Amino acid sequence: MVLNGNLSELSRLTAEVARFCGEHRLGDEVEYDLSLVMEELFVNSVTHGGCKGIEGAAEFELSLVAGGISLEYADRGKPFDPTQAPIPDITAPLAERPDGGLGIHLMRQIMCDIEYHRVDGWNRTRMRRPIPAEGT
Amino acid sequence: MEPDSDAPAHPGGGDMIESKEETRGAWVVVAVKGRADAEAADQLEATLRAAVGQHSKVAADFSALDYISSAGLRAVLQAARTAQMTAVEFAVCGMSASVKKVFDMSGMHHVLTIHGELPC
């Protein structure tokens, strides 16, 4: 799915995640997690990555793989490697708690096998939402 | 229902989240319904901060909140900061398991008062 660099695209993104999860009977928890991770990646691209207002600024693809769901996300924003982003201190007191970095922190909590490459002006990130095999 | 705030309307039309204020004993309960995503975060922040600015005990009832992302969490944190600076009691209550999971992963229990049920 191709997304323009506008936050109003979130509703289309969410609908596509719901469609994919419904088609594959993945359940509400997986749908929530994928919606959340997708939102965090896309909002980051639009608000911090310079993708705001750019047509076809980002694209993503979901697929079933062994051990879970693969998410491939790409954007045309400035280089940003989510695997190297600083970890926010989530135990800091309210007044000192940083506002940034929480979205990427959530992504790292939910997803595994996160890989990042910068290719031809695109940030390309691949990751997996693990789903334990039935009976384990 | 319109929130008691000056948040701009969603450009696509209706509000992304709905809110309703109700007084219960010493507490003012702000019930929030819908999706607290990056598009709705400003509206959520304005709604909660307006309540915190007007009352001494504010409970955010999130039992009908379907979804929250980091943008929604930041809105809640901003309201909590306002409450702390003005000595207002602020609590978040009644979250669904899926919303609570996001709060837990973000360490919100370190900085917020969280109740399973409403305090009133």
- Round to whole Å and give the CA distance between B17 and B8: 12
The structure tokens 């010493």 sit at B26
Q: Which of A92, A97, A102 has the CB atom closest to B70's CB atom?
A: A102
Beta carbons of B11 and A39 less than 8 Å apart:
no
Model pLDDT for residues A66-112, shown as the tens digit of each residue:
999 999 999 999 999 999 998 899 999 998 888 888 999 999 999 99
- Residue A18 forms contact with B (CB below 8 Å): no
Measured in degrees and rounded to the nearest 5, phi and psi for residue B101 equal -60, -40
DSSP-assigned letter for residue A95: G
List Cβ neighbours of B50 (8 Å cut-off, separation of 6 or more): B3, B4, B5, B6
ipTM value for the complex: 0.94
Q: Which of A10, A29, A102 has the CB atom closest to B39's CB atom?
A: A10
Domains of chain B: 15-115 (3.30.750.24)
- Residue A12 forms contact with B (CB below 8 Å): no
Model pLDDT for residues A1-60, shown as the tens digit of each residue:
999 999 999 999 999 999 999 999 999 999 999 999 999 999 999 999 999 999 999 999
